[in-house]
Structure 1
Amino acid sequence: MKNSSLSINYGFTLIEVLVVVAIIGILGAIAYPSYMDSVRKSNRAEAKTELNDVAQRLQRCFTAFSAYDDANCSVAGEISSGNTLSTENDLYSISGVLTATTYTLTAAPQSGSVQAGDSSCASFTLTQAGVKSASSGDCW
């Protein structure tokens, strides 16, 4: 004779599933902002690399033409008079203020890119004297 009052239930109850979903949601809410901060921090290297590259190109122009803003210097035309250069992954735009003996380069995040949400290091600046600065914090 079989005992019909004993039955074995396999599976999860609705409460157990909801608890797991809630735990995953909480972990995701904590982890995602931290992950995005890490991504933004690693993407800052693109701005620094491009600023240093443009600075080297300007130094070559100064060596060849004795002026940073010489008409024969192609990079000078690319970043002056409101023109900008985009970095390799279009995360930053590089602009510059040039005179014959000085320059100030600025890397600002492109709107719509992941870097646009980088509030701690929004922009980077580099001068002909090698002075590096950022909009806030110690980002270099």
Structure 2
Amino acid sequence: MDRSRGFTLLELIIVTGIVAVLAALATASYGRYALRAHRADAHRMLMTIAHAEERWYATYNRYTDDLSKFGYDNPGISPHAYYEVALAVSGTTAQAYVVTAMPINSQAADVCGSLSIDNKGNKTPERNDEVANANGRCW
């Protein structure tokens, strides 16, 4: 009796199941990686605005809450449209500021949530915030 060579149906089902499990794991990992990578969009914009604020302060001895002075719309949208940035100056003498990047669009699912930096260099969420930093360090 001559048996033809090939795969049985059971072997094909097993291989298909293994490939499906691997694809599901890869998709979840890629999603988390993409959220972490998109945070660079906020980091760059926040640091650019913070540096511009310090240059503004060196010239005028006060901070400004006008993002248009730095070439951004108000509210500012990050270059890849993953974050919306808001700038707030405190006090009548404008001696302090906070820049906040709020996730929008596909980035809204990021566990880090809003990222911010102030005139003293304090960044939130902080490194010891375990919930926010569950998907890799936010900053």
TM-score after normalising by structure 1: 0.78
Q: Secondary structure at the match of 1:95?
A: strand
Question: Quick check: 1:97–1:103 contact (8 Å CA) kept in 2?
Answer: yes
> Alpha-carbon deviation of 1:70?
7.1
> Alpha-carbon deviation of 1:8?
2.7
For 1:18 and 1:86, the matched residues in 2 are separated by 48
Question: Quick check: 2:65–2:88 contact (8 Å CA) kept in 1?
Answer: no
Question: Quick check: 1:61–1:70 contact (8 Å CA) kept in 2?
Answer: no
> Alpha-carbon deviation of 1:134?
1.6
For 1:63 and 1:26, the matched residues in 2 are separated by 57
Q: Could you say which residue in structure 2 is the equivalent of 1:69?
A: 64
Q: Could you say which residue in structure 1 is the equivalent of 2:129?
A: none
Q: Deviations over 1:70-114 (max 9, x none)?
A: 77x713x957xxx32111211111111124111111111112x2x
Structure 1's consecutive aligned runs of 4 or more residues displaced over 6 angstroms after TM superposition are none
Gaps of 5+ in 2: 127-131
Q: Could you say which residue in structure 1 is the equivalent of 2:76?
A: 85
Q: Secondary structure at the match of 1:24?
A: helix
Q: Could you say which residue in structure 1 is the equivalent of 2:89?
A: 98
- CA distance 1:86–1:130, change in 2 (3 Å): same
Q: Could you say which residue in structure 2 is the equivalent of 1:50?
A: 45
Gaps of 5+ in 1: 1-5
- CA distance 1:70–1:94, change in 2 (3 Å): closer
Q: Deviations over 1:108-128 (max 9, x none)?
A: 1112x2x22212x12211001
**Equivalences for 1:1-140 in 2 at 5 Å?**
6-69=1-64, 74-75=69-70, 78=72, 83-99=74-90, 100-111=94-105, 113=106, 115-119=107-111, 121-134=112-125, 136-137=132-133, 138-140=137-139
For 1:23 and 1:70, the matched residues in 2 are separated by 55
Say what the alpha-carbon RMSD is for the aligned residues.
Answer: 2.2
From the CA coordinates, give the structure whose radius of gyration is larger.
1
TM-score after normalising by structure 2: 0.79
Q: Could you say which residue in structure 2 is the equivalent of 1:3?
A: none
